[in-house]
Every structure is written in structure tokens, then in C-alpha cells.
Amino acid sequence: MPTFRENLTLLREGVHRIGAGAALRTALYRPRRAWWQWRYRAQKQKVFGAGLPTDFFASNAALASVGGVVDVRVIEQGVALLCEHGYAALEAVTPHIIRLRMAPSEPLPPYFSYATLFEKRPTEVAIEVGDEHIILATAALRAEVRRTPFGLRLTDADGQALIGDIVEVQWRREGGSVLHQELPDWVQLYGLGERACIMACRGQHFHLTTMDPESYHLGADPLYMNIPFLIALGAGRFTGLFFDSSYSGEIDLGVNRADYLEYQTTGPELRIDFVAGPGGDDLLEHYTELTGRMNLPPLWTLGYHQSRWSYESAPIVREIAREMRARRIPCDAIHLDIDYMDGFRCFTWHPERFPDPRGLIADLHAQDFKVVAIIDPGIKVDPDYPVCADGVEKDVFCKLPDGALFHGPVWPGECYFPDFTSPRVRAWWGAWHRGLVEDGVDGFWNDMNEPAIFGGSTFPDAVQHELEGRGGDHREAHSVYGMQMVRASYEGLNQLRPGRRNWVFTRSGYAGVQRYGSSWTGDNFSSWDHLRLTPAMLLNLGMSGLSFTGADVGGFTGAPTPELYARWVSMAAFTPFYRTHTAKHTPSQEPWSFGPEVERIARKYIEWRYRLLPYLYTAFWQCSVRGLPIMRPMIFEDPHNAVYHLLDDQWLLGDHLLVAPVLLPDSEHRHVFLPRGAWRDFWTDELRVGPDDFTRPAALDVVPLYVRAGAVIPLGPVRQATAQPVDALELHLYLGEGESWFYEDDGETLDYRKGAYRLTRFELRRDRESLLLSRTIRGDFAPDYARFRIHLHGAEIVRVEVDDQPLVGAAQGFECPRDGWNAIKIIFAQS
């Protein structure tokens, strides 16, 4: 293996050769590729060969069945199964999760997963070993193994089937496995992370890996994220199947056979975690207990973000900030794409375009703007570049099997790539953020981390990785590379800014990435198809555990029409991540770029985004403590309603707000589906009782919104940024009965983990012509505002009593102090 000095010498000698052109680069790489291929074959035999005796396979057969179960052993919280051609373990992970692991031979490898927080937790189980079946049961799930041939049926505790039976598992001659599972006609499928398709996944085929598609259209596959968590909905019950393998794979959801699911993985082990519901909220709570939940982000990240590739100089950035404030368009963050760097070198500033970054950022901070900077994984091969030289010296870059440093072309030219699967390397990477942090950069944007190399390529399989000390190659590391990059960034920022909520968002990731950062849906197009696609993509991501996500408003590639931008910027106000972004060489895409009418519409909905922040922040809190999606599909509201199974262009934002945007061109109407119960039009207060569907007029400046009766919706004032003070909040009471939550903290520090939060539970109860608002409060946080203004929707206020004491002169918008009361009784006249 080359030493540091030898690598540095090769680096210095190679700087000139790297620039000599593609022909020389190909010639230099060709002999090494042959070496990689030889080592790849040897390593593949080492990984898979011992478990695949030749007698597994019939002559020339590509697949071999595991056969039947020939022996059973009771193990901790489960059973071990010796099959004719393989070995399996069926274990209870929690009362709501049962795990199946299978390998060609005994023993199974030690349990490891980048996705999960723990292997298993103490769980009571019941085990039955019979002549034909073996049963493992918990309080919520029951797995019944068929002995001959091996098969598995999953039911709830009452024996009701949750999805079809696993009917066959096969080993592939070249390594890996294939699973066949029945798909009853009463099952619909969702999830699987980031998919450029409608929300309902049945009848589609997907690759389970990460890739930079360099922009994508409807049906493109794969994309940047790989979250192999499939959700089955049948007979009103939700069940999750987590195919936990970072190796590449495929899943066929009824294309080859309409009544079968087929899952393939190239990894040495087949692993599935079966996750119980029965409700959608229950399922996400159980799944994110296993894979982790997002940390509460800083409040400013919920505001509006303005970006493009690129605001190429400090004067341009200043002008964007000036226009935002002059036009009174609220904005919390301005993003800097790759052109802020010196030659696209990470952790640098361009000396001419950004000569005084600290001064620039200080000025932006004085105007209540945050600054977000992009960082890619590629480190330019340049011995005079301190990050590169330090990385070579510290031995942090990915290598080939012969010990040479792997390099490939991205934005700076030829680059080395840190091995983020090493704790030591992650710490090194995190520490290099110090300079940008000291300059004042507030948030970070991890891009190109699929990992992507120019030409639609990625790392060769033979590239070596530490994999937390286990050792291995890029076949196992590929899908988790981006996740481990954002982990390194996040953990490094936590070291540099302890006690503060640090925020990173990433283009690529694997299951569990929500523990470290948020995301966006990458390089979309400025088209109506992509506007229509956005809610479905965000809903499936949220159901896959990654809820803080959004799409580039207006589209990244191309140029939106004024109508398209107006519809997009208004819709996106009701999605978790709210950012306008566009590509180099496209027209301006700031809110004022499309004329006065569109600017007015953009301002209106950005202002409403800020007014809704108290309500929206509560939905983020719910996601952080229970894993509930911020955007919730209609199937969560009524899983028995067959119409909702395919409905992915309207959603619930939090508990009580239904969003039904217009997503088609030249349309001023929207067909809306209301669930059971009473709902009020957010804009007009018109009452409707569901279940109902109807067509609502929706001019260019209208997003149809409906509020559940019995809700309490907290609203803030219009502010230009979240850092600006609030003197009063509004509580909007929607006539009816119900429960609502309102979460508050300082929005910036980690003090909420020590009790510095305020959690209010509101309850509305109606008794004929009176409405009682009661509340209970937990936590020690004292908000800055001193009072509430209270509005009642659906009736006129006649008089008010606060804790049984009359409030003189009460009317719509009456005020009461923030503290010092438990219940407010409103006597009303029906409007």
C-alpha cells in the first residue's frame, strides 16, 4: 500500500496528466480496471462463494430454492431455521416488528445496519413448533412459517392476513437472493422513498439504489434516494416491509405477475423487517422507533428560502436580499451554490467574487437572513489545496484494492472522495467546516453524494470502504454514501456549534437519513407534469420516514410560465421545505420575476406560510416525537375509502388543514374530496360536511384549503423573517368539538430537550349555543408574546367568560393574556 509520501508524490506528478484529456485518462485507467475486475471477482467469491455449494443449483440454473425447513432451534426472542439450502432466523425486534434474516449457510453474519438504531429490544414472544408450521407471535404480529417448502404468512394478533404469503426464496448463482410474495387484489402499495411516480406503487418496478439522473421525468428510476421501506394497505390496515440492504436490488410490484411481489438483492443476506400498524400513524411511529426520527430543526428552516445556481458574487447576493426586503416578501435564507467557491474547492471562497464573506454574511444577518452553502464530497486533486493535502496525509480518501487513491471527475476536475463509512473520516470532514462556520454560514447543503461522477457514473464496485471497521467495497457502501456524508456534516457541526440546532439537507440518502438531515427532490423540471408529480413524491417520502422535504419551486431545469410559477409557489407554501431554486443559464426565478400579478400571489402565500408557522412547527414537533408525516396522505385519514387509495394531489398538513391545490394549466376549478366530519373553507368559512366531493372555484391566486371543525389553529403575524419579534398570536377556533396541539420553544437551541418548551393541549367542547375552550400546558418555556387574539369561525360571539369571569366587550378578535387562565367559555349566535 502506498505511503502518504508516495501518494503525495503521485498526486504532484499526476496533476499535469489529469488535465491531458479524456483519451489519456482512459488509457491510464484501463490497466487498473482489469485489476479491479480481477479483485472484484475474488472478493465476490469470498463474500458469496462459501454459502453457495454447487449442489444448490441444477445444471446451468441461475437460481436455487432454499427448500424446506429441516431443523428448528429456539433462540432469544425467536427461532433459527435450518433449511435444505440455507439458514434463517425469525426474531421479534419489538412487539410491533418481526425480522426475517436468511443466508445461504450458517452462521448469519453479525447484525449491522446503517438504518436502524438498535438490533432488538426485550419483547415477550410465543413460539409454537409443529410438524407443518412454526409460529412466532408478539402482542401485535404473528409470523407463521411453512416448513415444506419454506414460506411465511404474516397476520395481526387476531390472525387476519396483512399482506400475501412469501411463497419462495431463491439464491442466485452469481450471489444474492430472490423473494417471491403473493399480492392479493385487496392490497395497495406505497412508500419506497423517492420515486418519480404516482403515490400508489402497485404495478411498478423499481431499482433499489441511488443515482444522479441529471434531471428526471415521470417514471425515471432510480433517483437520488434509496429508502427500501414498502407500505402495504389492505382491509384498512397498514403494514410495513423494510428490505434492509444497502446493496443494490430491485423490487417488482406486480409487473412481471400482477399477483406477485418479487424482491431481489445482490447482498449476501436477505433481511426483511415486518412492521405493524394498524393505522398509518401507528406504522410510522413503529418504523421510526427503529430507524430514528428527525431532530427538531431551527425555526428559520421552515421559512421561505431563495436560491439559484448560482448567485455568483457578493453584490448579486446583496441585491437579492435588498429586493426581498424592499418588496416586503418574507424570506429567511439565501442559498449559495457552487460558484461561491474558489475553483469549486470545498470549504473555500472565491477571492474575487466573494472577497469578504464574513462581512457579507454579517450584513445579511443584520437583515435577518440566514446563509446556506453547498458542499460536495469531491475534494480536488491538488497538492497545494490544504483540504486535499490534509486528506492525503490523514488517509481519509477512498482507495482501490491495490491501495491507490481512487479519483474521478466532478466540478473541480479530478477529485478524491472521503470514505464517510469511517468514524475517523467523518470526524475529519466535520472539522473542516470550522472556517465556514466561523464566517457565519448557518446551514449546509450536501449535493452530488449519490455519489455522482461526471458522465452519469459513480464509483466502481471495487472501491474499498471501512464500513465501521468491518471492511468491504462500494457494492455495500454505495446507497449509504450520501447518508454518511450528511451524518459527518451534521455531527461535525454539532461539535463546532454545541447547544445549537444545526441543519443540513442532502440530495442522497438511505433509510434513517432523517436522523441527520432533511432533503429535497433534486433536479426537477419546470413543467406541469413535475408540479403534478411533486405532492406524490413528497407524500411517499414522508411515509418512508423522511418528512422534511420539498421540491424546487418553479422547477430546476427549464423556465416556468408565470401561471406555472404562481401555482407552484402557492402550493409549496403548504409543503415542509419551501425553496425556489433554478439552474444556471435559466431566466430569473425570484418571486418578482414574472410580473406584478405573480409577485402579489407569491407574496400572499409566502406571508401565509409565515402566519401558519405556529401550526406548522407543531406538525414538525409531532414528526420529531412520533414520526408522523408533516404532509399526510388521505389514506391516513380514512384507509377504507377506495378513492383515497389513489388520491395523491391533496393532503392533510398537520392534524387539521386539508390542502387541495390546482395542478393543471388553464384551470380555475379544483375537485375536492372531504373526509368524514364537518369542514370549513379556510378563505370563506363555508361549512361542508363529509364525506363529500365537489368542485370548488379556484382562481390563480386561490389554493383551496379546508379546516376541520373543532380545531384550534394558532396563527402568527406577517413577518419578514422568523427572527423578528411577535407581540401577539391569534387562536382561530372552528366551531365543533375536537383536540388540538400547539408546541413552542425558542426555535434555535437544544434547551427544549431539558424542558424549555411549552406544549399546549387545546380542547373544544360544544353545549348548544356555547363553546368551551380548555387547555393544559406542559413545559417551562415562556414565549415572548404576551397575549392571544381569539377568533371564532362559524358563529358570532355574544359574550365571553374567562375562568367563569365575564370579559367585558368581547367580540371577534378579543384579547386575553397568554397566561393565567385555564378555560374560556364563548356564548355564540349561529351565523
Using omega within 30 degrees of 0 as the cis cutoff, is the peptide bond preceding 665 cis?
A: no
Choice among 312, 450, 655, 744 that is catalytic:
450
CA angle 53, 54, 58 (to 5 degrees): 130
Quick check: is 523 catalytic?
yes
Q: Please name which of 375, 514, 487, 484 lies closest in space to residue 420, comparing C-alpha atoms.
A: 484
Cα-based torsion angle of the residue sequence 373, 420, 266, 472 in order, rounded to the nearest 10 degrees: 160
Quick check: is 337 catalytic?
no
CA distance 157 to 139: 6
CA distance 154 to 314: 59
Please state at what angle helix 423-431 crosses helix 481-496, rounded to 10 degrees.
50
Q: How many CB atoms lie within 10 A of CB 238?
A: 26
Choice among 144, 194, 447, 745 that is catalytic:
447
Element (H, E) at 798: strand 795-802
CA distance 181 to 264: 12
Q: Please name which of 511, 450, 452 lies closest in space to residue 478, comparing C-alpha atoms.
A: 450
CA distance 10 to 685: 72
Q: Do residues 308 and 133 lie in contact, with contact meaning Cβ atoms separated by under 8 Å?
A: no
- Give me the phi and psi of 725, to 5 degrees please: -70, 160
Choice among 194, 221, 252, 523 that is catalytic:
523
Cα-based torsion angle of the residue sequence 202, 207, 213, 216 in order, rounded to the nearest 10 degrees: -10
Cell (9 digits) for 468: 465501521
CA distance 366 to 359: 11
Q: Please name which of 236, 233, 153, 240 lies closest in space to residue 192, comparing C-alpha atoms.
A: 240
Quick check: is 339 catalytic?
no
**Cα–chain-centroid distance for residue 12?**
41
CA distance 2 to 10: 10
Element (H, E) at 465: strand 464-465
3-state secondary structure of 662: coil
Element (H, E) at 764: strand 758-767
- Give me the phi and psi of 224, to 5 degrees please: -75, -30
- Helix, strand, coil percentages (3-state) for the chain, rounded to 5, are 25, 30, 45
Catalytic residues: 447, 450, 523
